[in-house]
Amino acid sequence: MKIRVLFFAAARDAAGTGQLELEVDPSATVGSLRERLPEIFPGLAPVLASSAFAVDEEYVRDGARLHDGAEVGLIPPVSGG
């Protein structure tokens, strides 16, 4: 199945792109995506360690399952305000 991963701020700088279309296994979880991303973008590893994920615009834990067409946001430490 296919998902779209969005990169913001420091994560976008580290990945060198704002988004990525990715084919993942139907059993894929946020945690498995977290492990896979550094294989695609080695520079992302340090950012990933302190980042959260959102699926379809809502924060999720690493155990959350992905679904076909999911929009996955990689959320580095936020600094709004």
Partner 1 sequence: MNTCGAASPLSHSVSADAGPIRQVARIVESSPDSGWLLEQISSPDSGANVVFTGTVRRFTGDRETAWLEYECYAGMAVREMRRLIAECCERFSCSGAGILHRVGRVDPGETSIAIAVSTTHRDAAFRAAEWLMHGVKARLPVWKKDFAPDGSSHWVAPGAGHPAGGTRP
Q: Which residues contact partner 1 (rule: CB under 8 A)? A: 6, 8-10, 13, 18-19, 31, 50-54, 57-63, 73, 75-81
- Shortest approach of partner 1 to residue 50 CB, angstroms? 6
Question: H/E/C letters for each residue in the chain?
Answer: CEEEEEECHHHHHHHCCCEEEEECCCCCEHHHHHHHHHHHCHHHHHHHHCCEEEECCEEECCCCECCCCCEEEEECCCCCC
Nearest to 5 by CA among 45, 51, 53, 42: 53
What is the nearest approach in angstroms of partner 1 to the Cβ of residue 74? Answer: 10
Q: Which is nearer to partner 1, 24 or 30 (CB)?
A: 30
- CB of residue 57 vs partner 1: minimum separation in angstroms? 4
